[in-house]
Amino acid sequence: MNQTIPPNTGPKKDDKPDRDHAMFDAELSGNVLNFQLLKRVLTWLVPYRLSLWVSGALVLVASFAAVLMEVVISRVLVDYIIVGDANSPMPDLGLIALTQQLEATFGLPALYVAGGLFFVLMSIVALLGHWHRLTLIDAIVKALRDLRQDLFAHLESRPSSFFDRVPVGRIMTRVTNDVEALYEMLRGLGSLVGEFVPFFVALTIMLSTSVELTLILLLLVPVVGSATYFFRQASREIFRQVRNSVSGLNQFLQENLSGMQVVQLSQRQDQNRAAYTKINRLNLEQENRSINLTTYYGAFNDSLASIGLGIIIYYGGGSVVQSEMSLGGVILFTRFMNMLFTPVVLLGEQLNVLFRAMASGERIFQALDWDEQIREPSHPATLPERLEGRVEFRGLSFGYSKDTQVLVNVSVSIEPGKKLAIVGPTGSGKSTMIRLLGRFYDFP
């Protein structure tokens, strides 16, 4: 080998200024719904779009079957079989006529037919719902597997200077916790689609049954939406702090475990344990704040559901007495009320997951877009035909940062077959010279 490191000639024209590695420690709130970022995340799902279409079709069928189950209970079982009112103007989606036809065809009692219909619909909901979840999660897991693979391959190609300046714990959080946050978001978005199908079908049936009662119940929807909005506003900052505290835990733990020999030799176990306890306590406080806020939000929504049920009983009961609504219609409203409010509540919860995932996505693409690398010179030195094994440093100056120089105007020549002992205190540049020989770092 005949390697000569020439004297420094100053920065090249294409050299980039020193990068701000501190941005990896910056707190990203993700408080803006970045559609470009979301679109970029979804590109990893493109190879599995067939599975997504199948999953969407399955959830549509299962959701409609779930609506029919409620109609079987309220209109077929209550109105037709128990009350004996088959001619009520309330919609039954043709299920009463189907029950009558099956009665005549098989000679079975109406109760058995209704039970059979309910069992078939329940089986459809269970089987297709399970198939939908498997198909959806399979596509999401494969997409995030590809994302992890791309992220890992990208990080492997970064120079040593990148890992000197960015804590490994921060990098690990991006590959693990942040990718997991994207999984929660994508899974939630897929499930949310299945909740809005019953919402619109139920709303249509409720309007055709009693416009006045439906409009009264719809007045509660903005209340639920407002509560969801204020919950998101309050929880956004808390969730950001939770994510950062988890990242801090990972960073501290990784650094201590990887440097355990130094910790034990320095007898810093007690100090490090105290520092970890402090970070862990901070994480506990942030998690408790998040849990408390979520609990209050859930209790408020439960109270609104009870208010809605009271409205149905009061108004619907009066309508039954005045023969304006059937008993099955009142029961149908109580069953559909959950279908009316659940998507709004889930949408609010999913918004929080979405905003948390926005922060995680920013952090992931922050690492994925980091293009720092050792660049090949535009005019590389020509190697001799035969390498002799001669190593020469000529006027070398180098520093890990622009403010501190580790080596200043170093010149040394090592002939083939010769040995050179380099001694000096810690930080004098011994290891740096070896790293430069291996080109772990670039220099002007």
* pLDDT for position 28: 52
Parent domain of 155: 25-368
For the chain, the average pLDDT equals 80
* Domain end marker among 339, 368, 397: 368
Is residue 60 within 8 Å of 197, Cβ to Cβ? Answer: yes
**Side-chain-facing half-sphere of 31: CA atoms under 13 Å:** 14
- The reply to whether 260 falls in a domain is yes
Q: Are residues 301 and 427 in the same domain?
A: no
Confidence at residue 119, expressed as pLDDT on a 0 to 100 scale: 96
**Is 373 among the domain residues?**
no
Do 8 and 47 share a domain, yes or no? Answer: no
> Mean of the pLDDT values across residues 363-381?
71
Mean pLDDT of 58-62: 90
The predicted structure's pLDDT at residue 367: 78
Report the DSSP pairing between strands 407-414 and 3-5: unpaired
> Hey, what's the torsion of the CAs at 112, 113, 117, 122, to 10 degrees?
0
- Does residue 363 sit in the same domain as residue 386? no
The pLDDT tens digits for 88-118 are: 777 788 898 999 999 999 888 999 999 999 9
Tens digits of residue pLDDT in 6-31: 444 433 434 444 454 444 555 555 55
Which is it for the CA torsion 150, 152, 153, 154, positive or negative?
positive
> What's the domain count of the chain?
2
Whether 87 and 173 map to the same domain: the answer is: yes
Share of the chain above pLDDT 70, in %: 86
- For residues 236 and 366, which has the higher predicted lDDT (pLDDT)? 366
DSSP letters, 160-219, are HHHHHHS-HHHHHHHHTHHHHHHHHHHHHHHHHHHHHHHHHHHHHHHHHH-HHHHHHHHT
Give the pLDDT of residue 431.
79
Residue 116 and residue 166 in one domain: yes
Is the pLDDT at 409 greater than 70? The verdict is: yes
- Please report whether residue 215 resides in a domain: yes
Q: Residue 173 domain-assigned?
A: yes
In a domain, 339, yes or no: yes
Cα three-residue angle 176-180-291, rounded to 5 degrees: 110
Q: Considering 348, 368, 388, which residue would you say is the last residue of a domain?
A: 368
User: With bands split at pLDDT 50, 70 and 90, how would you rate the model's confidence at 125?
Assistant: very high
52 inside domain: yes
Q: How many residues does the chain have?
A: 444
Local confidence band at 444 (pLDDT 50, 70, 90 cut-offs): low
| Same-domain check for residues 14 and 104 | no
Does 294 share its domain with 395?
A: no
The mean pLDDT value for 347-365 works out to: 78
What mean pLDDT is predicted for residues 346-361? 77
* pLDDT attached to residue 15: 43
